[in-house]
A and B are shown apart, each in its own frame.
Chain A
Amino acid sequence: MASGTLYKGREGMWSWVAHRITGVAVFFFLFVHVLDTALVRVSPDAYDRVIASYKTPLVNLMEVGLVGAVLYHALNGIRLILVDFWSKGPKYQRQMVWVISVIWLVVMIPGFYFMTKHTFEQMFGA
């Protein structure tokens, strides 16, 4: 495609790509998550055993990824609503990508600390 397109390869396109990828990832996790929670109808032991896997270092790190994906999808979803319904939304759609990126980082840095605190203590000692 000729250069000078406003959309392709820029913030608008990449935020759209990331919205799809995070949406699909969260959907598949949700499916698994309803299945693992359903084990509370089997027995306390069956539930506790599957939840124990959520507390291991590797899965704990994947939970940070899950929270990051949900947070991005939520922030970009708010941006999409503003593009659709706020009169100045389309004009500022590109700037809003940078605004949500900053908010994402500001939330994820302390979020990462609190989510992985126990894992790091366990692996490298208190």
Chain B
Amino acid sequence: MSHNQTPSALLAPRSARSGRSNYELYSWMFMRISGIILVFLVLGHLLIMNILDGGVQRINFGFVAGRWSSPFWQVWDLLQLWLAMIHGGNGLRTIINDYAERDSTRLILKSLLYVAVVFTILLGTLVIFTFDPNIA
């Protein structure tokens, strides 16, 4: 779409939306719902990992093994991974749409973004589910 064209919604602001999906509405709603959940998950994660009880200085393989022996922290980290990656991926999608003016640039950047998001979610999920505390 050229940037010189006036969007149809501005030409006829009270007209009914025709045949378009509600994708952007769901995206807007998802950002708010996932955002509220992430406030607790991520700030809790940062408080435990970086501030309490010596912070980052006490983290090592044994520390991770101790945490992931509990399903509670496995579920915490899994939920945090999925929500944060989709929330962040959707945020970057919005930013690419705002600043990348050429269609080809947008396509390339968004393809890279989607590949990175899917790869990171799958890798992180695999690591949480296949973690072995007795690995040699």
A38 within 8 A of B: yes
Q: Interface majority SS on A: helix, strand, loop or mixed?
A: helix
* Total residues of chain B contacting the partner, CB 8 A: 39
Q: Within the assembled complex, what's the spacing in Å between the Cα atoms of A93 and B43?
A: 23
CB-based contact A41/B92 at 8 Å: no
Q: Interface majority SS on B: helix, strand, loop or mixed?
A: helix
Specify the chain A residue showing the minimal Cβ separation from B120: A34
A15 within 8 A of B: no
Encode contact with B along A19-42: 1 for CB under 8 Å, 0 otherwise.
010011011001100110110110
Q: Which A45-67 residues sit within 8 Å CB-CB of chain B?
A: 45, 47-48, 51, 54-55, 60, 63, 66-67
Q: Which B119-134 residues sit within 8 Å CB-CB of chain A?
A: 120, 123-124, 126-127, 130-132
* Residues of chain A within 8 A of B92, CB atoms compared: 23-24, 27
Given contacts A26-B88, A30-B84, contact A47 B61 (CB under 8 A): yes
**B50 nearest CB across to chain A (Å):** 6
Q: Within the assembled complex, what's the spacing in Å between the Cα atoms of A23 and B85?
A: 11
Stretch in contact with the other chain, from B16-24, B31-39, B102-110: B31-39
* Residues of chain B within 8 A of A35, CB atoms compared: 120, 123
**A77 nearest CB across to chain B (Å):** 5
CB-based contact A37/B130 at 8 Å: no
A81 contacts which of B36, B56, B124 (Cβ < 8 Å)? B36
Other than the given A34-B81, A44-B61, A48-B61, 14 more pairs (CB < 8 A) read A24-B95, A27-B88, A34-B124, A40-B127, A41-B132, A47-B60, A51-B56, A74-B42, A74-B43, A78-B39, A81-B35, A81-B36, A115-B56, A118-B55
